[in-house]
Structure 1
């Protein structure tokens, strides 16, 4: 999962602090999303489920899952555009 993958990358105390700040920021941003979008993001990126697995888990059509995940990502992007919100994101990974 995403949080565990971040744990594996920690090399020093400073990186650990940054990792925790990033995770806290992402959770804070996700808390601002509607519950259905937050659940979608958690299942896809934290639990690493496929679109098909999410559709089965939530008993939704695959197209609905794709559309809602697209919208959820747009909303997160908009939240990250707020002043200071992207300060802790790692710009070296793309």
Structure 2
């Protein structure tokens, strides 16, 4: 189990690492610090997105530490929610409300 301080330090470490060196995904998506911030923000909005958000953090941690040969982006796409939609316009299924 992680403490809130450990989670915050991990988040700060990952976003800082991605700010310095974004990770390209073979599918064309580039994950930088701002993208991880937004994916995390949106992922924490819906309880059902917690597992995929945690999986993404684990994959990013492996990639930035050098323990993964490449960033697969498996947890990035498809995203559980539309990250371009304002959070107050996302329906319970993670889609932008009309």
TM-score band by shorter chain is 0.3 to 0.5
The structure with the largest alpha-carbon Rg is 1
TM-score by length of 1: 0.35
TM-score by length of 2: 0.34
More strand by share: 2
The higher relative CO (CA closer than 8 Å, separation ≥ 6) is in 1
